[in-house]
């Protein structure tokens, strides 16, 4: 029987769930289906060293459901690497190699970084001739001699992690590959991050993602190995996977070389888990089941995240995403955050909702818990939406206040939901998170509000159901739209297989094409993403 | 002549992006270049056109190419300066100053990059007063000034001089071809202008204007006031519509990004609908099916809360936007000006009627 353990390591709690295959079939293959069941779920506090929390969560899980020991796979989602960047800790000094001279000489690597972060991460900076044009022609020949000289400087400086970015490498990666080969020859053992593996068109943003990845590699290696040890110590022999921003997984030994891919895996897992728990699926013409398109609202203690699911995966942001003050442009879920959560303050005269929140002190400071602060949770209790604390303590709240506050909350949610929609038609909305009682059962622009079981551990569930993906974002010229998409699809499928997917199970989950201004020959920028099961 | 402070370049980038009227390319990378130069001690000088002698020579500069290519092959002050020095060599004469082709978008900052390298002042002027998609849509073309010669510089020491062209259309075709050949990005120095031509035919004061708009936005943000109101007050503009983007359709034809956007009304505009057509920049706007605003009046679409300009390439469903109109430079409103940049120049069979009466 297929059993998967999903773990979410959040800032406050570490959650773990055991997911078991349901129905009659007992094969180990195939994507998770709605008849798969959550058989156990635990919540423990996150610890400073992360692994202690995981070990505890696993022990609790095994106690609740002993078969957890025989899990076939363990998926961990963590915000550990994002936090390291934001808090400027455990980061390595790296060498930046930019290939593209004579172009871009005036804007070297690290150019728009916050100074405190650049000072920690900036080791050697090398700019070399090479790179490509948008149509694949070489810009100038690659300066292999310069690369060899650079490797000597890198070795002399004792740098152990190198980031390589070449102009238009998403279209032609040969310069980055050649530079990496020289580096491995001259400096064996050095960790190498190549930009074309990480990002899209947009040199500075892609290079930034590459540099962030390079400065996190040692921490990622250390962390994933500690995760593996925690697993072994719990008596679980299953392979370990790490979840990524796009809702898919990589084997831990592959994932530890791409820590930036996990930057936003928390909200992604929550949305994916919500889709799964809603048990809404459609069956495509090949008889494969697919999650339905829906919006997800995750109401926490302080904020609410709203995202959009397409075929069960979060829609990705197309714009620049800042991490720790650094501009990047890569696979991140498109999320709208509102200052609304269970701990959000409701002020009277005039009535305002938030953005201040009592956060995790809700259980001390809210009226229903004996405190003296009016929160939206108190309003919800007074209205009978949820039964928490001592209801008598909010009995005296004027009915008009409760009514107006709820109307205001409804308006915030309706506006946020509407912003995340891609068209004007009504869409289903799945509500998860500790504060999901704030989501009214009927909303403008929403076909139905879906409440799900296990909503408090939706992100651990999202980790447990993850699959493997491949993505291509490229400019195609003089091809019809269908032909360009077909070619992009083949390339994306090759990438997914390389990342560990079973080719026979691959599905296209996202297709996007954007015509470009001022380029000849009907240029089309095409992005295709495919997802499939882990190959066995 | 006066020195331009580093924070004025920041304001210029914000103001120029609004004056880009949906196009013109993001000024971000050009701004990064200026920050680098100012950090090394550069201080650019801004001069009033009145300070030019009639026979002084002024270089009109701009980047040419596809915005997407510009995100990989990053803009560089040296190449920008090279286009200018090439022109000097070709003419056998030195320039007195540089100026911008278009104040809308990234090309507002290109002359500062050239000026920093060449130690020349920047003239407080441009020849569009905004951004436009085509070469003949300039005040110089409206005044029938010569469109050649043109120099085009590539980062690899490839250089092209277009010595003559039979028309603006030919100039566009020949230079565009050369630009595509070197990778769809190049720095260009357009036909040189005399001091007299600049004083008589350029759109004067546009750099100061863009800096002023940027400053107004920054001040409003700092004071938590509405940045859009600040822009309207600064430029005596008109708020046309506030709403939510309901639909956006884009296609490329003849190398241009064309399409339409529909906005559904919110607040006082609830129940109404605004449609916008664009060719790289916003061209015409209809309120409930009736033409409400049209080029050359400046049509700007701004984020309703942040006041940031939104481009035709990045507008998307659900965004809360406010459409405003700013007055166009008078030269664009003359019968001759309207031939070049009025609604019919963009294929709309409409008689121009300004929002500003």
Contact: B257, A516; criterion CB under 8 Å: yes
Question: Do residues A443 and A297 both lie within one domain?
Answer: yes
**What is the predicted pLDDT for the residue at B33?**
98
Res. A358: pLDDT tops 90: no
Residue B105 lies in a domain: yes
Task: Find, in chain A, the residue whose alpha carbon is nearest to that of B25.
Answer: A517
Question: Do residues B326 and B260 both lie within one domain?
Answer: yes
Q: How confident is the model at residue A50 (pLDDT cuts 50, 70, 90)?
A: confident
Q: What average pLDDT does chain B have?
A: 94
Contact: A139, B156; criterion CB under 8 Å: yes
The residue from A164, A189, A218 where one domain ends is A218
Question: Do residues A388 and A494 both lie within one domain?
Answer: no
Res. A22: pLDDT tops 90: no
Question: Do residues B200 and B276 both lie within one domain?
Answer: no
Average pLDDT score over residue span B111-140 = 96
The residue from B206, B223, B258 where one domain ends is B206
Contact: B313, A517; criterion CB under 8 Å: yes
Average pLDDT score over residue span B222-228 = 90
Q: How confident is the model at residue B32 (pLDDT cuts 50, 70, 90)?
A: very high
CB-CB contact of A267 with A333 (8 Å) = yes
Contact: A106, B256; criterion CB under 8 Å: no
Among B97, B81, B103, CA closest to B155: B81
CATH code of the domain in which A357 resides? 3.30.420
Res. B164: pLDDT tops 90: yes
**What is the predicted pLDDT for the residue at A247?**
81
Question: Do residues B192 and B247 both lie within one domain?
Answer: no
Q: How confident is the model at residue A522 (pLDDT cuts 50, 70, 90)?
A: low
Q: How confident is the model at residue A330 (pLDDT cuts 50, 70, 90)?
A: low
The tokens for B69 are: 């290519």
Residue-wise pLDDT tens digits, A399-409: 999 999 999 99
Q: Considering only CA atoms, give the Rg of chain B.
A: 19
Question: Do residues B182 and B314 both lie within one domain?
Answer: no
**What is the predicted pLDDT for the residue at A29?**
45
Contact: B36, A423; criterion CB under 8 Å: no
A423 contact residues in B (CB cutoff 8 A): 247, 317
A525 contact residues in B (CB cutoff 8 A): 68
Residue A272 lies in a domain: no
What is the count of structural domains for chain B?
2
Can you give the residue range of the structural domain that contains A130? 94-218
Residue B355 lies in a domain: no
Average pLDDT score over residue span B316-342 = 94
**What is the predicted pLDDT for the residue at A31?**
52
Question: Do residues A425 and A497 both lie within one domain?
Answer: no
Euclidean distance between CA atoms B176 and A314, whole angstroms: 40
Euclidean distance between CA atoms B59 and B62, whole angstroms: 10
Question: Do residues A165 and A212 both lie within one domain?
Answer: yes
Would an 8 Å CB–CB cutoff place B266 in contact with chain A? no
Whole-Å CA distances, A64 to A40, A42, A351, A458: 6, 9, 46, 18
Would an 8 Å CB–CB cutoff place B74 in contact with chain A? yes
Question: Do residues B126 and B181 both lie within one domain?
Answer: yes
Question: Do residues B193 and B298 both lie within one domain?
Answer: no
Res. B95: pLDDT tops 70: yes
Question: Do residues A299 and A413 both lie within one domain?
Answer: yes
**What is the predicted pLDDT for the residue at A27?**
42
Average pLDDT score over residue span B110-136 = 96
CATH code of the domain in which B164 resides? 3.40.1610.10
Residue-wise pLDDT tens digits, A165-186: 999 998 888 999 999 999 999 9
**What is the predicted pLDDT for the residue at A264?**
80
The residue from A197, A218, A239 where one domain ends is A218
Question: Do residues A406 and A504 both lie within one domain?
Answer: no
What is the count of structural domains for chain A?
3
3-state secondary structure of A14: strand
A137 contact residues in B (CB cutoff 8 A): 183
Question: Do residues A511 and A401 both lie within one domain?
Answer: no
**Percent with pLDDT over 90 in chain B:** 83
CB-CB contact of A446 with A429 (8 Å) = yes
For A104, the closest of B73, B255, B316 (CB atoms) is: B73
Question: Do residues A136 and A211 both lie within one domain?
Answer: yes
Residue A294 lies in a domain: yes
Mutate to test the interface with B, among A203, A517, A527 (most CBs of B within 10 A): A517
Residue-wise pLDDT tens digits, B265-313: 988 999 999 999 999 899 999 999 999 999 999 999 999 888 889 998 8
For A420, the closest of B68, B251, B318 (CB atoms) is: B318
Contact: B183, A475; criterion CB under 8 Å: no
Question: Do residues B194 and B247 both lie within one domain?
Answer: no
CB-CB contact of B275 with B262 (8 Å) = yes
Average pLDDT score over residue span B252-275 = 87
**What is the predicted pLDDT for the residue at A218?**
96
Residue A154 lies in a domain: yes
Question: Do residues B63 and B189 both lie within one domain?
Answer: yes
Q: Considering only CA atoms, give the Rg of chain A.
A: 24
The residue from A171, A199, A218 where one domain ends is A218
Question: Do residues B44 and B190 both lie within one domain?
Answer: yes
Residue A164 lies in a domain: yes
Residue B227 lies in a domain: no
CB-CB contact of A162 with A191 (8 Å) = yes
Question: Do residues A484 and A447 both lie within one domain?
Answer: no
Average pLDDT score over residue span B48-67 = 95
3-state secondary structure of A277: helix
**What is the predicted pLDDT for the residue at A331?**
67
Residue A293 lies in a domain: yes
Contact: B77, A522; criterion CB under 8 Å: no
Residue-wise pLDDT tens digits, A209-262: 999 999 999 999 999 999 999 999 899 988 898 998 888 888 787 788 999 988
**Percent with pLDDT over 70 in chain A:** 92
CB-CB contact of A180 with A164 (8 Å) = yes
Task: Find, in chain A, the residue whose alpha carbon is nearest to that of B156.
Answer: A102
**What is the predicted pLDDT for the residue at A524?**
77
Partners of A242 in the beta sheet? Answer: A76, A250
Residue-wise pLDDT tens digits, A77-106: 987 888 888 889 899 999 999 999 999 999
E strand or H helix that includes residue A273: helix A265-277
Question: Using CB atoms and an 8 Å cut-off, which of residues 127-146 of chain B contact chain A?
Answer: none
B74 contact residues in A (CB cutoff 8 A): 103-104, 106-107, 203-204
CB-CB contact of A179 with A166 (8 Å) = yes
Contact: B184, A518; criterion CB under 8 Å: yes
Q: How confident is the model at residue A23 (pLDDT cuts 50, 70, 90)?
A: very low
Euclidean distance between CA atoms B56 and B46, whole angstroms: 16
**What is the predicted pLDDT for the residue at B264?**
92
Range among A294-303, A527-536, B318-327 with highest mean pLDDT value: B318-327
Q: What average pLDDT does chain A have?
A: 87
Distance from CA of B267 to the nearest CA of A (A): 13
Question: Do residues A435 and A473 both lie within one domain?
Answer: no
Residue-wise pLDDT tens digits, A372-392: 999 999 999 999 999 999 999
Residue A375 lies in a domain: yes
Average pLDDT score over residue span A348-368 = 85
Q: How confident is the model at residue A516 (pLDDT cuts 50, 70, 90)?
A: low
Res. B115: pLDDT tops 90: yes
Question: Do residues A404 and A485 both lie within one domain?
Answer: no
Residue A33 lies in a domain: no
A515 contact residues in B (CB cutoff 8 A): 250-252, 257
Q: How confident is the model at residue A515 (pLDDT cuts 50, 70, 90)?
A: low
Q: Which residues of A touch B (CB under 8 A)?
A: 100, 102-107, 111-112, 133-135, 137, 139-140, 167-168, 201-204, 318-319, 418-424, 475, 514-520, 522-523, 525
Residues 6+ apart with CB under 8 A from A312: A247, A272, A275, A276, A290, A291, A292, A509
**What is the predicted pLDDT for the residue at A28?**
43
Residue-wise pLDDT tens digits, A407-454: 999 999 998 898 888 777 889 999 998 889 999 999 999 999 999 999
Q: SS3 letters for chain B?
A: CEECCHHHHHHHHHHHHHHCCCCCCCCHHHHHHHHHHHHCCCCCEEECHHHCCCCCEEEEEEEEECHHHHCCCCCCHHHHHHHHHHHHHHHCCCCCEEEECCCCHHHHCHHHHHHHHHCCCEECEECCCCCCCCCCCCHHHHCCCCCCCEEEECCCCCEEEECCCCCHHHHHHHHHHHHHHCCCEEEEECCCEEHHHHHHHCEECHHHHHHHHHHHHHHHHHCCCCHHHHHHHHHCCEEEEEEEEEEEEEEEECCEEEEEEEEEECHHHCCCEEEEEEECEEEEEEECCEEEEECCCEEEEEECCCCCECCCCCCCCCCEEEEEEECCCHHHHCHHHHHHHCHHHHCCCCCCCCCCC
Would an 8 Å CB–CB cutoff place B36 in contact with chain A? yes
CATH code of the domain in which A102 resides? 3.40.50
Question: Do residues B171 and B28 both lie within one domain?
Answer: yes
Length of chain B: 357
Residue-wise pLDDT tens digits, A446-503: 999 999 999 889 999 999 988 888 888 777 877 888 888 899 999 999 988 877 788 9
Residue-wise pLDDT tens digits, A116-133: 999 999 999 999 999 999
B311 contact residues in A (CB cutoff 8 A): none
Q: How many CA atoms lie within 13 A of A523 on its CB side?
A: 19
Contact: B183, A420; criterion CB under 8 Å: no
Question: Do residues B151 and B202 both lie within one domain?
Answer: yes
A109 contact residues in B (CB cutoff 8 A): none
**What is the predicted pLDDT for the residue at A25?**
39
CB-CB contact of A182 with A115 (8 Å) = no
Q: Nearest-5° angle of CA A88, CA A93, CA A96?
A: 115
**What is the predicted pLDDT for the residue at A281?**
63
Residue B212 lies in a domain: no
Residue A320 lies in a domain: yes
Question: Do residues A327 and A183 both lie within one domain?
Answer: no
Contact: A422, B318; criterion CB under 8 Å: yes
Question: Do residues B196 and B314 both lie within one domain?
Answer: no
Can you give the residue range of the structural domain that contains B263? 237-346
């Amino acid at each position: 029987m297929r059993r998967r353990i999903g773990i979410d390591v959040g800032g406050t709690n570490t959650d773990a769930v055991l997911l078991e295959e349901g129905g009659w079939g007992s094969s180990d293959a195939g994507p998770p289906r709605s008849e798969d069941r959550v058989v156990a779920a635990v919540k423990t506090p996150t610890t400073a060293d992360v692994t202690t929390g995981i070990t505890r969560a696993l022990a609790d899980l095994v106690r609740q459901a002993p078969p957890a020991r025989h899990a076939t796979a363990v998926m961990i989602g963590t915000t550990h690497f994002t936090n390291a960047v934001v808090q400027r800790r455990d980061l390595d000094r790296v060498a930046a190699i930019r290939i593209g001279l004579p172009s871009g000489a005036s804007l070297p690597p690290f150019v728009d970084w916050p100074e405190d972060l650049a000072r920690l991460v900036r080791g050697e900076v090398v700019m070399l001739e090479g790179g490509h044009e948008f149509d694949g022609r070489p810009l100038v020949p690659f300066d292999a001699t310069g690369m060899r000289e650079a490797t000597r400087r890198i070795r002399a400086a004792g740098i152990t992690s190198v980031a390589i970015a070449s102009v238009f490498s998403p279209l032609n990666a040969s310069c980055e590959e050649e530079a990496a080969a020289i580096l491995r020859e001259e400096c064996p053992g050095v960790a190498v991050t190549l930009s074309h593996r990480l990002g899209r068109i947009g040199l500075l943003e892609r290079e930034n993602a590459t540099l962030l990845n390079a400065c996190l590699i040692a921490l990622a290696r250390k962390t994933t190995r500690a995760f593996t040890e925690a697993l072994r110590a719990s008596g679980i022999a299953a392979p370990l996977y790490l979840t990524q921003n796009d809702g898919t997984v990589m084997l831990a030994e592959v994932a530890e070389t791409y820590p930036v891919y996990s930057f936003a895996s928390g909200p992604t897992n929550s949305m994916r888990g919500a889709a799964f728990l809603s048990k809404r699926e459609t069956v495509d013409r090949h008889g494969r089941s697919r999650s339905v398109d829906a919006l997800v609202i995750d109401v926490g203690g302080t904020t609410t995240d709203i995202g959009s699911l397409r075929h069960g995966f979060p829609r990705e942001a197309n714009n620049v995403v800042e991490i720790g003050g650094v501009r990047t442009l890569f696979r991140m879920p498109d999320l709208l955050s509102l200052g609304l959560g269970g701990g959000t303050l409701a002020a009277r005269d005039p009535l305002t909702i938030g953005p201040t929140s009592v956060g995790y002190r809700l259980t001390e400071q809210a009226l229903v818990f004996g405190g003296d602060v009016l929160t939206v949770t108190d309003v919800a209790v007074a209205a009978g939406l949820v039964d928490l604390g001592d209801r008598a303590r909010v009995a005296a709240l004027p009915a008009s206040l409760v009514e107006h506050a709820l109307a205001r909350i409804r308006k915030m949610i309706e506006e946020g939901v509407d912003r995340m929609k891609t068209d004007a038609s009504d869409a289903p909305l799945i509500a998860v998170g500790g504060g999901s009682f704030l989501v009214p059962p009927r909303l403008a622009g929403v076909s139905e509000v879906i409440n799900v079981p296990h909503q408090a551990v939706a992100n651990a569930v999202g980790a447990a159901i993850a699959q493997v993906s491949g993505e291509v974002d490229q400019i195609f010229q003089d091809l019809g739209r269908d032909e360009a998409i077909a070619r992009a699809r083949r390339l994306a499928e090759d990438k997914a297989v390389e990342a560990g997917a079973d080719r026979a199970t691959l599905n296209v989950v996202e297709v996007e094409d954007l015509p470009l201004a001022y380029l000849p020959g009907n240029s089309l920028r095409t992005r295709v993403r495919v997802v499939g099961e882990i190959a066995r | 002549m006066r020195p331009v402070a580093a924070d004025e370049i920041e304001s210029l980038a914000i103001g120029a992006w609004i004056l880009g009227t949906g196009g013109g390319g993001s000024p971000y990378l050009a701004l990064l270049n200026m920050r680098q130069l100012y950090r090394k001690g550069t201080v650019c000088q801004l001069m009033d056109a009145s300070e030019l002698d009639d026979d002084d020579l002024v270089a009109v500069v701009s980047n040419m190419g596809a915005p997407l290519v510009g995100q990989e092959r990053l803009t560089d002050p040296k190449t920008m300066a090279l286009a200018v020095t090439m022109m000097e060599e070709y003419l056998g004469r030195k320039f007195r100053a540089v100026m911008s082709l278009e104040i809308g978008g990234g090309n507002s900052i290109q002359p500062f990059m050239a000026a920093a390298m060449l130690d020349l002042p920047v003239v407080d002027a441009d020849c569009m007063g905004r951004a436009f998609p085509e070469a003949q849509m300039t005040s110089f073309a409206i005044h029938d000034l010569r469109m050649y010669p043109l120099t085009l510089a590539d980062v690899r020491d490839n250089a092209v001089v277009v010595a003559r062209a039979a028309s603006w259309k030919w100039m566009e075709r020949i230079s565009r071809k050369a630009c595509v050949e070197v990778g769809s990005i190049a720095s260009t120095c357009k036909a040189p202008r005399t001091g007299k031509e600049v004083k008589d035919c350029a759109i004067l004061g546009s750099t100061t204007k863009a800096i002023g708009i940027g400053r107004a936005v920054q001040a409003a943000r700092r004071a938590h006031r509405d940045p859009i109101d600040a822009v309207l007050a600064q430029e005596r503009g008109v708020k046309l519509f506030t709403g939510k983007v309901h639909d956006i359709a884009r296609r490329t034809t003849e190398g241009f990004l064309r399409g339409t956007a529909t906005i559904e009304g919110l607040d006082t505009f609830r129940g109404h609908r605004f449609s916008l057509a664009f060719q790289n920049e916003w061209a015409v706007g209809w309120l409930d099916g009736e033409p409400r605003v049209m080029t050359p009046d400046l049509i700007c679409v701004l984020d309703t809360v942040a006041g940031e300009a939104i481009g035709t390439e990045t507008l998307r469903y659900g965004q809360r936007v406010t459409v405003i109109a700013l007055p166009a430079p008078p030269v664009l409103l003359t019968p001759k000006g309207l031939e070049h940049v009025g609604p019919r120049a963009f294929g709309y069979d409409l008689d121009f009627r300004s929002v500003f009466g």
